[in-house]
Amino acid sequence: MNVPTKSIITFAIIAAAFAIGYFVAMPTYGKYTQVKAAETQALQTKSELVAQESKLESFVNDFKSKQSLTRQTNDALPLKRASIEAVLANLDNMAASSGLVISDVNLADGGVAEGGVEPNTIQSQGVTFSASGSYPAFKNFLLLLETSLRLIDIDQVSMEAGDDGSIIYTIEFTTYYQS
């Protein structure tokens, strides 16, 4: 074999190798391109999810921090009329800590119309009670009542002397709740 024939055979073998490589590598390269595009999409989706997760965590933390405010608001303006028992218990605790003795607690009629009340409206509840004790104890009680978290409007206060030298106070106030 002469040199030009060897060159042609070598060239033909190299060309055949490139052709076989091309036909074998092209489908693999197509799959590689698809996988690379899917990986890029997955990384982009992951970064979006991480950003959303961060926003969600921020929202949850903000929500948790505001839950205590909700509790305070519900203490100030409860959601039901039935919570009047809690108001009366709180009233009794404030009176006891001030040195007053409560008696004759009366709840005023709410004056709800026959059709009921609109939802999410503010309703009032009148309360009248008597208490006996010293004047400094009464002043302390009024201070506690006015600074309590619960919304209370004192409507009227009257005083009279008791048989045992103490003072008997009659207090009328209005408290509020959501319907």
Which pLDDT value is given to residue 159?
Answer: 92
Which pLDDT value is given to residue 179?
Answer: 67
Which segments in the chain show pLDDT lower than 70?
Answer: 1-3, 69-83, 110-117, 119-120, 179
Please tell me the class of the 81-178 domain.
Answer: alpha beta
Which pLDDT value is given to residue 22?
Answer: 76
Rounded CA separation 25/55 (Å)? 44
Going 63 to 69 to 72 to 77, the CA torsion angle's sign is negative
Q: What is the DSSP letter of 108?
A: P
Q: Which residues contact 166 (CB under 8 A, 6 or more apart)?
A: 132, 133, 134
Which pLDDT value is given to residue 29?
Answer: 76
Rounded CA separation 68/149 (Å)? 13
Rounded CA separation 161/169 (Å)? 9
Which pLDDT value is given to residue 123?
Answer: 78
Q: Is the pTM of this model over 0.95?
A: no
Which pLDDT value is given to residue 65?
Answer: 81
Name the residue ranges covered by the structural domains of the chain.
1-76, 81-178
Q: Contact, 110 vs 81, CB < 8 A? A: yes
Which pLDDT value is given to residue 1?
Answer: 59
**DSSP strand pairing (167-178 vs 152-161):** antiparallel
Rounded CA separation 136/167 (Å)? 11
Which pLDDT value is given to residue 140?
Answer: 92
Taking only the tens place, the pLDDT of each residue in 121-163 is 777 888 899 999 888 999 999 888 888 877 788 889 999 987 7
Which pLDDT value is given to residue 72?
Answer: 63
Which pLDDT value is given to residue 57?
Answer: 92
